[in-house]
A = this chain, B = another copy of it.
Amino acid sequence: MSRQRTAVRQELAKESAFRSAQEIYARLRSAGNRVGLTTVYRALQALADGGEVDVLRSDDGEAAYRLCSQSHHHHLVCRDCGRTVEVEGRAVERWADQVAGRHGFTGVEHTVEVFGTCADCSA
C-alpha cells in the first residue's frame, strides 16, 4: 500500500458521503499532498475492485466513491445533499433469489439503490 493510496483511503474515511474522484484529488492537493489525478483514479479503482469502496454514478455522469463496510448492504441516498445511509434488506435478498431462481438464473447478484430527499433537505 503506497503513500498515495493510503492518503486516498484516509481522505475517504473523513466523511461518509459519496465524493467524486476530482473532489478527492482537489482536497489532497490543497492539503499539500503531492499526488497525481491518475493515481487517485487508480487508487479508487483498486479500492473498488477490492470491495472496500462502493461506486455509483450521479446524474451528471460523474462517478462517486464511498468507503463501505464489509457486509452486504444497500444505500439510501439523499438526492440533494448526498448523505447516505446504509441499509440492510433481507427482504430484497430473498426476493432477488426467488425471482432469479424462478427464471432459471444462477449465480445471482444484484444492485439496489434507493433515492429520496432526506428530512433535513425537505425542511
A residues with a Cβ closer than 8 A to B are 55, 57-59, 61, 63, 76, 78-79, 85, 87, 89, 91-92, 94-96, 99-100, 103-119, 122
Contacts and interface: CB of A to CB of B under 8 A. Distances in A.
Copies per complex of this chain: 2
Given A57-B58, A57-B59, A116 B92 contact: no
A105 to B, nearest CB: 3
22 contacts: A57-B58, A57-B61, A61-B61, A76-B103, A78-B105, A85-B103, A87-B103, A89-B95, A91-B91, A91-B95, A92-B112, A95-B95, A96-B112, A100-B116, A104-B118, A104-B119, A105-B116, A105-B118, A109-B115, A111-B111, A111-B112, A111-B113
Contacts of A108: 114-116
A122 B111 CA distance: 21
B116 A113 contact: no
Nearest to A61: B61
Given A57-B57, A87-B99, A91-B92, 9 more contacts: A57-B58, A57-B59, A61-B63, A78-B105, A89-B95, A91-B95, A92-B95, A105-B117, A106-B122
